Amino acid sequence: MQRRTFLIKQRVLITGGAGFIGSFLTDALIEKGYNVSIFDNLEKQVHHGKKPPYINKKATLVRGDVRSYDSLKRAVLDADIVFHLAARVGVGQANYQIKDYVDTNIGGMANLLDIIVNEKTKVKKIIMTSSMTSYGEGMYSCSKHGKQKIRMRPDSQMITKQWELLCPTCKEILTPIPTPESAELQDNGIYSIGKHVQEQLLLFIGKMYRIPVVSLRLFNVYGPRQSLSNPYTGVAAIFISRLKNNRQPIVFEDGGQTRDFVSVHDVVNALLLAMENADADYSVFNIGSGKPTSVKTIATTLAKLLKKDITPSITNDGRKGDIRHCFADASKAEKILGWKPHVSFEEGMKEVVSWSEKEDARDIFERAAGELSEKKLMYE
Ligand code: UD1
């Protein structure tokens, strides 16, 4: 394996470094001796106007928005390595705040690349976090017709509440199998389009200007520091917030839909390996645990760990744009980056629950759910 050892004291810029992934990455880089600058707008929906207390004191925090060329430029001028993590993350919300998501997620990357190629910068590597959502549905297998990359479930199927994917030829229920990077991408919403386009922009400009770039396609990341008062965030944090407020987690479909939950610590490790390893350059990698867990299991596991006698409410209604199953084939990351997940689902969920006990959690889920209904983004 070819390693590029960056000289310690190199300056690393992390856009979105105040978020839960970025802040753990900051800690890890500082621990390794890097100088870290964080560029973050302290998004109101996530941080509620406050600087999070966990931000590493040794990092320089610059408050700014990736949509602003000038303020991002000031931060980039100083950087040797850039991790571009700044993004808006509500998968459902993205489908009705289209311009905002496009401006931040695609426009932010466009600004970053414009700055790097047009200004006097010294950036030697750019690493971004893209998303498994760009696959749409994951890979499936039919006992008679073999492996398939299937289209999203059509409206006509969703309204009959037939949640599982069916083989187009024989109508047998398909079995989900691991999804590799080579699987066809099939965007399932504005958020997924944003991550996909960002990845394309990065790879194209990286190759054209010979600036090493890497994109990590993250599966469902969870861990401490994820906002518990942001109803547009990932399902695990939403369920913790509901349970802490003694309310039932609301489970869409029948709860049998699965996701690949990967601990933030494993993700940070992958980001460091992607930075250090020149064999990773110009490539994309799946970063997931490789294990599917159902959404209903998330709800019941969290209730148990939080010692709440609360069962989830299964709505039997679908959210538009949701996929049913996708879990990672992360063998490329193992082979090239030497990456493997180390935190088991049980350990990781225990960690996040124990962290959450001391945290405030404002449950405003009903507002987010109401918006989806109002915009007709639910099959109900
Ligand atoms: C999530 C992340 C996305 C990331 C992607 C990578 C969020 C909001 N989404 O998308 O940023 O790129 O993983 O894999 O952080 N669900 C419920 N009840 C709820 C909320 C969700 O049943 O209250 C269900 C959804 O219908 C879905 C599943 O849980 O089936 C996961 O939803 P969500 O956490 O929003 O994530 P993804 O769409 O997988």
Query: Packing angle between helix 107-118 and helix 190-209, nearest 10 degrees?
Result: 10
Cα(190) to centroid of ligand 1, in Å? 14
Residues counted in the chain: 380
Which of 235, 239, 377 to mutate for ligand 1's pocket (most ligand atoms within 8 Å of CB)?
Answer: 235
Determine the Cα–Cα distance for residues 277 and 287; give it in Å rounded to an integer. 16
Cα(317) to centroid of ligand 1, in Å? 15
Asked if 130 and 218 count as a contact pair (C-beta separation under 8 A), the reply is yes
Asked if 164 and 174 count as a contact pair (C-beta separation under 8 A), the reply is yes
Tokens coding 171: 């109508």
Q: Is the pLDDT of residue 1 over 60?
A: no
Asked if 323 and 235 count as a contact pair (C-beta separation under 8 A), the reply is no
Determine the Cα–Cα distance for residues 351 and 94; give it in Å rounded to an integer. 29
Cα(133) to centroid of ligand 1, in Å? 9
- Confidence grade of residue 117 (pLDDT, cut at 50, 70, 90): very high
**Among protein residues, the one whose CA lies closest to atom 7 of ligand 1:** 234
Cβ-count burial 42-72 (b if 16+ within 10 Å, e if not): bbeebbeeeebeebbeebebbebbbbeeebb
Cα(115) to centroid of ligand 1, in Å? 32
Q: Is the pLDDT of residue 271 over 70?
A: yes
Looking from the CA of residue 232, the nearest atom of ligand 1 is 8
Which residues are CB-contacts of 364 (< 8 A; sequence separation ≥ 6)?
229, 231
Q: Please state the pTM of the whole predicted model.
A: 0.96
Cα(221) to centroid of ligand 1, in Å? 10
Tokens coding 177: 């199998």
Q: Is the pLDDT of residue 4 over 70?
A: no
**Structural domains present in the chain:** 11-138+179-373 (3.40.50.720), 139-173 (no CATH)
pLDDT, tens digit, for every residue of 209-262? 999 999 999 999 999 999 999 999 999 999 999 999 999 999 999 999 999 999
Share of the chain above pLDDT 90, in %: 96
pLDDT at 9: 76
Cα(205) to centroid of ligand 1, in Å? 30
**Among protein residues, the one whose CA lies closest to atom 38 of ligand 1:** 91
pLDDT, tens digit, for every residue of 120-146? 999 999 999 999 999 999 999 999 999
Tokens coding 317: 């209604």
Share of the chain above pLDDT 70, in %: 98
Q: Is the pLDDT of residue 3 over 80?
A: no
Which of 20, 43, 85, 91 to mutate for ligand 1's pocket (most ligand atoms within 8 Å of CB)?
Answer: 91
**Among protein residues, the one whose CA lies closest to atom 26 of ligand 1:** 252
Cα(152) to centroid of ligand 1, in Å? 16
Cα(228) to centroid of ligand 1, in Å? 14
Q: Is the pLDDT of residue 107 over 90?
A: yes
State which H helix or E strand residue 146 sits in: strand 146-149
Task: Give SS3 for 190.
Answer: helix
pLDDT at 7: 54
**Among protein residues, the one whose CA lies closest to atom 13 of ligand 1:** 220
pLDDT at 105: 98
Average pLDDT over all residues of the chain: 96
Q: CB-hemisphere CA count at 13 Å for 284?
A: 25
Q: Is the pLDDT of residue 301 over 90?
A: yes
**Among protein residues, the one whose CA lies closest to atom 36 of ligand 1:** 234
State which H helix or E strand residue 38 sits in: strand 35-40
Q: Is the pLDDT of residue 52 over 70?
A: yes
CA angle (18, 215, 19) in 5-degree steps: 10
- Confidence grade of residue 49 (pLDDT, cut at 50, 70, 90): confident
Burial class (CB in 10 A: 0-12, 13-18, 19+), 357: exposed
161: left (phi over 0), alpha (psi -120 to 50) or beta: left
Determine the Cα–Cα distance for residues 272 and 371; give it in Å rounded to an integer. 38
> Residues with Cβ within 6 A of ligand 1?
89-91, 131-133, 218-220, 233-235, 238, 250-252, 257, 259, 295, 319, 322
- Confidence grade of residue 5 (pLDDT, cut at 50, 70, 90): low
Which of 134, 220, 253 to mutate for ligand 1's pocket (most ligand atoms within 8 Å of CB)?
Answer: 220
Q: Is the pLDDT of residue 277 over 90?
A: yes
pLDDT at 276: 96
Q: Is the pLDDT of residue 32 over 60?
A: yes
Looking from the CA of residue 195, the nearest atom of ligand 1 is 12
